[in-house]
Copies of this chain bind each other. A is one copy, B any other.
Amino acid sequence: MDSHGWDAPEMTTTAQNLSTIDAATTRLPAHEVIYRQLRDLVLFGDLAPGQAVTIQGLSERLGAGMTPVREALRRLIAEGALEFQGNRRVSVPLLSADNISELILARQWVDPHLTLRATERATLGDLDHLRALDDQLDVAITRGDLRAYLELNYLFHRRLYEIADAPILAHLADGLWLRFGPSLRVVCGRMGTQNLPDKHKAMLEAMHARDAEAAARAIREDVIQGMEQVRHSLEQSGALR
């Protein structure tokens, strides 16, 4: 899944401090560490849409040289998580209504497809794992913990992708998450964690019954519901944010 080889990034379940250098992570190259930190920052909306990002700023903030930072940025830009603004300037992309439509379209295809595959391949252990994630998700929702909701929701879908065992499609799907991450945070922040979409229960039941079509349908509804909220909220507030 990780196109850059190394072991899976450990998910930070709580807000993380940028200056915290994980001792266990020290074995990884600096550019990889920077990449993951920045990636999470984008994915969970810690960087607002439109916000500018400077190499030297990050370099100082993270206590690293500029070469690793530069590499991490190139990677994120190539993945669509950040945007190169022609004149050597980098920022978090603003999503247009058209962009959202494209993202909805793409996820509407790729997520159900991966779910289909996942249903065929999932072991009972996999299902338990998904259920556990979903339970934690419920807790986060009732507790109103937005950050935890965002992370767990991503983790849930990501786990699904891994089970599907289709690295290229999973990489595509991951790229989509990076693109709407910042806006998702903004939208959810405005609506609170109540009535957030969660068709996961229905999906898990279908997976358990090995009804791949039903599981795919459920995830499709989950995706549509979530993404349409973003679209709607975005259209309402003019451009975005």
Q: CA–CA, A85 to B2, complex, Å?
A: 11
* Residue of B67, B76, B175 touching A67 (CB-CB under 8 A): B67
The number of chain A residues with a CB under 8 A from chain B is 38
Q: Name the residue of chain B whose CB is nearest to the CB of A79.
A: B78
Q: Name the residue of chain B whose CB is nearest to the CB of A78.
A: B78
* Residue of B74, B99, B169 touching A75 (CB-CB under 8 A): B74
Instruction: State how many copies of this chain the complex holds.
Output: 2
Whether the pair A103, B5 counts as a contact (CB closer than 8 A) is: no
Q: Chain A's interface: helix, strand, loop or mixed, by majority?
A: helix
**Which of A166-187 touch B at CB < 8 Å?**
166-169, 171-172, 175, 179
* Residue of B5, B31, B85, B113 touching A105 (CB-CB under 8 A): B113
Whether the pair B99, A168 counts as a contact (CB closer than 8 A) is: yes
Whether the pair A3, B166 counts as a contact (CB closer than 8 A) is: no
Q: CA–CA, A106 to B106, complex, Å?
A: 10
